[in-house]
Structure 1
Amino acid sequence: MHLEPDLAALRPLGPFFVLRTAGEPPGRLPALTRVYDAAAPDVQPDFLTSRVRGVATALGTREARVAASVAHLGLAARLWSVALGCAALHGRVPDLDARLLRWDPDGSAPDDLWLSAFRPLPGDAATVARTVLHGHLEPLAAALRARHRLAPGLLRGNAASALAGAAGQLERWARAHGRTDAAARARSLTAELLSHPLLEGAGTLTGTAFRRRSCCLYYRVPGAGVCGDCCFPRPPRSSPRATSG
């Protein structure tokens, strides 16, 4: 069974749901396992640090931990979108093993991802959690924390926020296109995933609206405000330590 048709069907949902499968990725892009395995900042080449620097430049911020949080949020959103989209629309997910998934650390947002092999998996919440949370977001958080002062609560909030954002986009699309079955599956999967021990307590989901308990620090980007699901109603004036989750 091949997943290419199902993955191609996600394209109308938006760029965060796209997973490249055709042709070879340009250059010698790393598999994500190489990115996560670089647990120490002095390991070369350090693809993760390169990504954070690129995000900092794009945002116009000198605060590396702000860029690191935004980079984490962006990659988490991509991974959740692909997995949740396939699970809700097709009842199965691609195996997103970090050894099979190639990533462009120098690309623009949303992150470019290529899947080098197709292995269909069940589309239940346990499989999605094992694929995304344990397969990617745990080692990604560990690698980022080895380099930057990012609190566990902030990273947990990012993961939950990215999931809720992907679910909201998916449910809106599904309802607009008469796929009430997919909308219901997306809502059910999201609620179950948010109760996972790695995400539990990160925020509150009311219908399709999510309110996180931590801040991703985006408000510290010059000219930025708070995100729509932020725990703060307006940009805080308190010390950075109080905003790290």
Structure 2
Amino acid sequence: MDLDPDLAALGPLGGFFVLRTAGAAPRPLPTLAQAYAEPAREPRADPLDFRVRKVANALGAPELRIAASVAQQGLAARLWSVTLGCAALYGSVPGLDPRLLHWDPDGSAPDDLWLARVRPLPADPATIADVVLHGHLQPLTDALRARYRVAAGLLWGNAGSALAGAARQLDQWARAGGRTDAAARARALTTELLRHPLLVGTGTLTGTAFRRRSCCLYYRVPGGGVCGDCCFPRPPRSSPRATSG
């Protein structure tokens, strides 16, 4: 099935899978390429820092690096969900050129992302890795490490966790709707992508269950606990910097 301009097949999967493409964004928005670039001199003009501080305020995070981790995992989940969903349902993926993918750092799914032009690409693991890992998560990781001193292992663990989470949700939806073909494609792609050099060793995938080898630090926010795929069975009491990835 060819990609349609609205990527309408993603709609039934829920907001994390939907990508806005029809019409213009409600107001001028930065691109993700701009978000990954050098910090702006004017804080209000820096979309990445705006997002991290918004998350920090919402969570009451005691450190910006915790908010940076949570913000990165959320964006990674959006990118994986869109790409994996298209691969499973269409058999092709949209090119998510960071210069054409507009982001609202104050928004939430599905109104946070707008793609200026839908260009179909093959849905093979190498292409998907180029689109998501090299096109987005590598520059995002570099930016967050430089700005907030977040451990690389933690951020790549977040990326692996976000991929597995998107695949799990897609698998559940596909099986419930009798789309065993889509479920099988999603599982196969996820398995291959987790073998990529940037993701290998981030965790263990068993069926659709993922157990990561790092911690996203969410347990350090007030009232936070460990996530379902965390390496820790319960919130640790040791130094948070020793558990950051």
User: Shorter-chain TM-score: what band?
Assistant: over 0.9
Aligned to 1:54, what secondary structure does the other structure show?
A: helix
8 Å Cα contact 2:56/2:64 also seen in 1: yes
Report the 3-state secondary structure (helix = DSSP H, G, I; strand = E; otherwise coil) of the residue aligned with 2:139.
helix
Shift of 1:194: 0.0
Matching residue of 1:164: 164
**Superposition map of 1:90-239 within 5 A:** 90-108=90-108, 112-239=112-239
1:41 Cα deviation from its structure 2 partner: 6.8
In the other structure, the counterpart of 1:79 is: 79
Work out the CA distance in 1 between the residues paired with 2:241 and 2:41.
26
Distance 1:142 1:41, change over 3 A: farther
| Residue aligned with 1:9, SS | helix
Pair 1:56–1:138, CA change in 2 (3 A): same
3-state secondary structure, aligned to 1:4: coil
CA distance in structure 1 between the partners assigned to 2:119 and 2:180 by the alignment? 27
State the alpha-carbon separation in 1 of the partners of residues 41 and 215 from structure 2: 28
**Aligned counterpart, 1:65:** 65
Task: Assess if the C-alpha contact under 8 Å between 1:74 and 1:109 holds in 2.
Answer: no
Spell out structure 1 runs of 4+ moving beyond 2 A: 1-5, 40-45, 108-111
Counterparts of 2:33 and 2:52, CA distance in 1: 17
Q: Which runs of 5+ in 1 are unaligned?
A: none
Alpha-carbon distance change, 90 to 210 in structure 1, aligned in 2, over 3 angstroms: same
Secondary structure of the corresponding residue to residue 198 of structure 1: coil
User: Is contact 1:74–1:111 with CA below 8 Å preserved after alignment?
Assistant: no
CA distance, structure 1, for counterparts of residue 142 and residue 76 of structure 2: 14
What secondary structure sits across from 1:147 in the alignment?
helix
Task: Give the drift of 1:42.
Answer: 4.6
Taking structure 2 as the reference length, what is the TM-score of the superposition? 0.95
Q: What is the Cα-based RMSD across aligned positions, in Å?
A: 1.4
* Paired amino acid for 2:5: E
Distance 1:145 1:42 in 2: 18
Give the TM-score of the pair, scaled to structure 1.
0.95
Query: Who is 2:4 aligned against?
Result: 3
Paired residues of 2:20 and 2:111 also in contact (CA < 8 A): no
Deviation at 1:157, TM superposition (A): 0.1
